[in-house]
Amino acid sequence: MRNSQTEYLFKVNLKGARRIWRTIALRGDQTLEDLHEAIFVAFDRYDEHMYSFYFPRAPRRRGASQARVREYTASFILEDPGPFDDGTKLNAADTRLDNLRLKAGQRFEYLFDFGDCWWHELKVEQVRPTGSAGRLPLVLEKQGKSPPQYPPADDG
């Protein structure tokens, strides 16, 4: 693995709960899987699930615009894709941040847990020369309490 001279700062918020967000720093030689793991820790999750990143954003309806969305997903999903796989998903574990050519201000989405559907909005806050002392990824800021990964069951 090469050492990147670039550091990326991401602001990650829960979709529909803009007051709950985290700022996370990663090096450019780290992968989307590393970003997933940092989000997992930053939002106090404890039970792994499937996930995907969507560039530029997840499709909201079927149609021609869906072809322009790139989906990067967990490698274990690609190992056993299932009958509905269209062969277009990319491996998050093989995708280095530097290779995405991210720019400050760029936005994309992340879905954690395909059943409970924890949607996140990500914004590239900064692309800068590596400067964080210590090991990356690193959660630099937290705003708002993480909701429980599994909301309490309704006993009604």
The average confidence (pLDDT) of the chain is 88
Query: Which pair of structure tokens corresponds to residue 156?
Result: 């009604």
Q: Which segment of 67-71, 98-102, 143-147 scores lowest on mean pLDDT?
A: 67-71
Q: How far apart are CA 18 and CA 46, in angstroms?
A: 22
CATH architecture for residues 6-59+66-143: Roll (3.10)
pLDDT digits (tens, 9 = 90+) for 113-135: 999 999 999 999 999 998 766 68
Ordered by start, the domain boundaries in the chain are: 6-59+66-143
Which of 13, 37, 16 has the alpha carbon at shortest distance from 26? 37
Q: Is the pLDDT of residue 154 over 90?
A: no
**91 CB contacts (<8 Å, ≥6 apart)?**
72, 73, 75, 78
pTM of the model: 0.88
pLDDT band at 80 (very low <50, low <70, confident <90, very high): confident
